[in-house]
Amino acid sequence: MDSLNIVSYMAFGRKEQIFFSHYIDEELASKIFLVIYTNGNDSKKFKGEDKMDGAPSRVLHIRKLPGEVTETEVIALGLPFGKVTNILMLKGKNQAFLELATEEAAITMVNYYSAVTPHLRNQPIYIQYSNHKELKTDNTLNQRAQAVLQAVTAVQTANTPLSGTTVSESAVTPAQSPVLRIIIDNMYYPVTLDVLHQIFSKFGAVLKIITFTKNNQFQALLQYGDPVNAQQAKLALDGQNIYNACCTLRIDFSKLVNLNVKYNNDKSRDYTRPDLPSGDGQPALDPAIAAAFAKETSLLGMIFIMVTPQSLFTLFGVYGDVQRVKILYNKKDSALIQMADGNQSQLAMNHLNGQKMYGKIIRVTLSKHQTVQLPREGLDDQGLTKDFGNSPLHRFKKPGSKNFQNIFPPSATLHLSNIPPSVAEEDLRTLFANTGGTVKAFKFFQRDHKMALLQMATVEEAIQALIDLHNYNLGENHHLRVSFSKSTI
């Protein structure tokens, strides 16, 4: 194999497994799916569930889930409305079924999300009643999902009364406060206000943050716009580490329902009031944290980032067919990426070295390794290595593909294709804005509305949008194709 076949990808940060990241594979999900749809004409009913109306059921059908979403995040959607009794993830279809304890809880959930569009990982999702009145999954095939459900239920019921006492209504209703109190235990590395904002923004819009030190512990108060977002963040993040084996998050609901922020600086921030003064020069960090920071400046790149093999496959796949990706276990700011041939490796290095991703400059160099080794059988490497050799998403597998003629450096302008007729400009603007960037311009192709140009504010925002939305399911069996364009709008 040519020595150019491996590209080393460096200088972005990644947290060690803050979310559950192991899924049942697609084949196994299909087997579980068949358990539900084995009787009569139930398979036909599944198609009918695309309709938003339907008879109420305690089983809810959730569609258009992001590809990397976890069972925990899906379960968190239902917890504010009552007990979740079963879940079925259909990863290959970007769908899930969620069963609540009562039909009333399901009705409340559907009514709520009819008025407030639910989002997971900055993508809108769709929730409706299922035609099925209960989930009859085979627990031996659905073991992972059931284990997650049991763990989440244990967290949910940890503070409920013992048996024989009356459960209060608050135990099955949304948390009343949108404010979380956060304590950082085992704080070996500094945690800044911006780090907290980046972590907690995954679960909704963060309005305000105040950081302080109390009893020699670094603490923060963080306010969401909606108590449901606070509930989801607490469920997913409580007890997790920001950095490897340290900086553990302990999260509770605050008795406060609103934070009063006077200054926008490194200690406090009101994201709804950019006009606030910075204060009288108070230090960015308290002395203890500043001392740790001075000793560990090399760790600036370790900010919490959800970099996954899938995201690297999507980005590097613009310049060649990625065969394997391995995020290094003991150096999670680095990865090995194996391309189909040396020319593709060189192309990826030429175009991506020096680009900005997740706020960090990425460095791409040739590796001494000839191939990415897969983990030994039975070894759990926490999902850091993935083989994409048989992926249907390779752009250059077909000989003579037009994709070979449309390889361009990263740019703020993206080329979109495979757009269904029902999707309007505003739909696409909203979809791309949900990746965290700003859509500056948009234009459908004059003769073919299946294609369009969309311009983000920066190249970095365009890179993020491509990672998040390439192959996004727009419905009608249309998966969006996203690439960089040489054109401007």
CATH number, domain of 356, equals: 3.30.70.330
pLDDT tens-digit readout, 62-101 = 999 988 788 878 888 887 777 888 998 888 888 999 999 8
Q: Are residues 197 and 262 in the same domain?
A: yes
**Does residue 74 lie in a domain region?**
yes
**Overall size of the chain counted in residues:** 489
Looking at the fold, whether 263 and 183 belong to one and the same domain comes out as yes
Asked if 110 and 184 sit in the same domain, the reply is: no
What is the pTM assigned to this prediction?
0.43
Cα–Cα distances in Å, from 111 out to 132, 163, 223, 333? 19, 31, 24, 43
Q: Are residues 255 and 314 in the same domain?
A: no
Higher per-residue confidence, 186 vs 2: 186
Pair (194, 250) in one structural domain: yes
Domain contains 134: no
Q: Which residue shows structure tokens 């923060």?
A: 220
Structure tokens at 49: 């569930």
- Residues 188 and 252 occupy one common structural domain: yes
Write down the pLDDT at residue 382: 72
Structure tokens at 90: 């259909």
Shared-domain flag, residues 119 and 69: yes
What are the backbone angles phi and psi of residue 367, rounded to the nearest 5°? -100, 155
- Residue 308 near residue 17 (C-beta atoms within 8 A): no
* pLDDT greater than 50 at residue 172: no
**415 and 366 in one domain?**
no
Give the model's pLDDT for residue 24: 34
Domain-embedded: residue 451: yes
Contact by Cβ (8 Å): 133, 59: yes
364 and 320 belong to one structural domain: yes
Q: Same domain, yes or no, for 257 and 201?
A: yes
Question: Does 8 reside within a domain?
Answer: no
More confident residue, 479 or 27: 479
Given a cut of 80, whether residue 126 has pLDDT beyond it is: yes
Mean pLDDT along residues 297-310: 47
Domain count, the chain: 4
What digits encode the pLDDT tens for the residues 309-330?
899 999 999 999 999 999 887 7
Q: In this structure, are residues 322 and 347 in contact, taking their beta carbons and an 8 Å threshold? A: no
Flag whether 397 is in a domain.
no
- pLDDT over 80 at 220, yes or no: yes
> Which alpha helices (H) appear in 262-341, and where do they start and end?
287-295, 309-316
Residue range 140-169: average pLDDT?
48
Expressed as residue numbers, the domain containing 255 is: 179-270
Say which residues have a Cβ less than 8 Å from residue 320's Cβ, sequence separation at least 6: 339, 340, 341, 343, 344, 345, 347, 348, 396
Note the pLDDT of residue 240. Answer: 85
Hey, what are 416's tokens?
């979109």
The answer to whether residue 41 sits within a structural domain is no
Phi then psi for residue 223, to 5 deg, are: -115, 125
Residue 136 lies in a domain: no
Average pLDDT, stretch 204-225?
A: 91
Q: b/e per residue, 359-398, with b = 16+ CB within 10 A?
A: ebebbbeebeeeebeeeeeeeeeebbbbebeeeebbbbee
Q: What are phi and psi of 133, to 5 degrees?
A: -85, -20
